[in-house]
A and B are shown apart, each in its own frame.
Chain A
Amino acid sequence: MAKETIDARGAFCPGPLMELIAKLKLVNVGDEIEILSSDKGSANDIPEWVKKVHHEMVGVTQQDGYWSIVVRKAK
């Protein structure tokens, strides 16, 4: 299982989500992607999107001024 990180800090909604989706297309099932976002809306929206399209949320962690959102590709 691979894990990649996208630094989308400074990008506004829906930029971080779009960056995540573009990366998900490139990785293998089971791989994890961590996206760093300073956009609070994305910290809420990305888990909603993951649920809607049936990938897996690994976790959301608030850091100093940004969120770390980890998603596992499930399909």
Chain B
Amino acid sequence: MASNTLYILLCSGEHEKVQMAAMMASVGAVSERPVEVFVSMNAVLAFEKGAPADKRYRGGAFSKLLTEKKAPDPLTLFRQGRELGDLKMWACSMALDVLGWELDKLEDGLFDEALGLTKFLSDAETGQFITL
């Protein structure tokens, strides 16, 4: 039986939460489970094209550990999930409007399109929904 889709709503720009979203999205996608990630609010800032590594995420004690121990970078994990599995990523169109950004302001190769929350919620009705 095919797995139902995992929908992840990522709103936080905290390093720990972006890391967890990237881990769930990438591992889920390579485990023959479709995954869709909707990125909104502060999380959008973590995907700004060309942001310096030390400015990309905000975080607490665990963020320091992730950096010190050289845990896989969330953006790398999202890219691997897209390359190796069935992972779609959407940038919240409302958040982009508020920022005055177009999709090309975000890191290349990560997002399928800008999408509205209404469409994402509608698609997510039949799957498992997680918010971070």
Contact = CB atoms under 8 A, between A and B. Distances in A.
Contact of A53 (B32, B71, B72, B77): B32
Dominant secondary structure at the A interface: helix
Q: How large is the interface on B (under 10, 10 to 19, 20 to 34, 35 or more residues)?
A: 10 to 19
A11 interface: yes
Contacts of B32: 52-53
Nearest to B24: A14
Interface string B71-87: 11000010010011000
Contacts of B128: none
A18 B26 contact: yes
Given A18-B26, A18-B84, A21-B84, A12 B72 contact: yes
A22 B30 CA distance: 10
Nearest to A16: B72
Contacts of B26: 14, 18
Interface in A42-75: 49, 52-53
Q: How large is the interface on A (under 10, 10 to 19, 20 to 34, 35 or more residues)?
A: 10 to 19
A71 B30 CA distance: 16
Interface in B48-74: 69-72
23 contacts: A12-B69, A12-B71, A12-B72, A13-B23, A14-B26, A14-B27, A14-B72, A14-B77, A15-B71, A17-B27, A17-B30, A18-B30, A18-B77, A18-B80, A18-B84, A21-B84, A22-B83, A22-B84, A49-B27, A49-B30, A52-B31, A52-B32, A53-B32
Interface of A: 10-15, 17-18, 21-22, 25, 49, 52-53
